[in-house]
Amino acid sequence: MKLDKFDREILRVLQQDATVSMADLSQQVGLSHTPCWRRVKRMEADGIILGKVTLLNSKKLNLGVSVFIYVTLKNHDGDSLTDFETAVQNIDEIVECHTTSGEKDYLLKVIVESIEEYEFLLKTKLTHLPLVDHLSSTFALKQVKNTTELPIKRQ
């Protein structure tokens, strides 16, 4: 789908504040209410806008430990990959799962309260994921940048 400058500006504004009223959104992007509303609805229907969420402060919720885990599987057939990907969906502490190129098969991002909680998760769930051959964990020391905003070009 081709996006024009108004669509791109709508997306930029919504990424910064999904609670913005349609009247304010229309004013900020330079469209009247109805055309702006139609564009938002079209981008929702086309799957460009996936949903609207509330962002939380993990540290204030005592979830200050972020762990990145490289996963290598024993097998790489379709069923093995599907089984692994299905299993990670059921572990709440896994907040991201990416397939990767190179020697490792997946990269997981896990958020937990403490190193002890991570150790428990590792022993009780992560090592029992389907066909896991090797896990390599790295703890984040400090978060330098964290954004949910995609880099939408103005063109």
CATH code of the domain in which 35 resides: 1.10.10.10
Rg (CA), the chain: 20
pLDDT band at 155 (very low <50, low <70, confident <90, very high): confident
Say how many domains are in the chain.
2
Whether residue 81 is found in the same domain as residue 115: yes
66 and 27 within one domain: no
In this prediction, residue 1 has a pLDDT band, given cuts at 50, 70 and 90, of confident
115 and 61 share a domain? yes
Q: Is residue 147 part of a domain?
A: no
100 and 34 share one domain: no
Residue at 150 is within a domain: no
pLDDT the model gives residue 154 = 86
The pLDDT of residue 51: 95
Residue 89 forms part of a structural domain = yes
What's the pTM value of the predicted model, to 2 decimals?
Answer: 0.89
How far apart, in Å, are the Cα atoms of 96 and each of 68, 69, 107, 153, 155? 9, 10, 8, 25, 30
In the chain, the amino acid numbered 74 is: K
> Do 21 and 28 form a contact (C-beta atoms < 8 A)?
no
Residue 24 pLDDT level (bands cut at 50, 70, 90): very high
Residue 114 pLDDT greater than 80, yes or no: yes
Are 40 and 60 members of one domain? no
What gap in Å lies between CA 73 and CA 87, rounded to an integer? 13
Phi, psi angle pair for 151, to nearest 5°:
-80, 85
Domain around 35: 3-44
If asked whether residues 71 and 125 sit together in one domain, one would say: yes
Measure the CA–CA gap between 26 and 10, rounded to whole angstroms.
Answer: 8
Residues 24 and 93 grouped into a single domain = no
Q: Name residue 63's amino acid.
A: L
Round to whole Å and give the CA distance between 140 and 113: 13
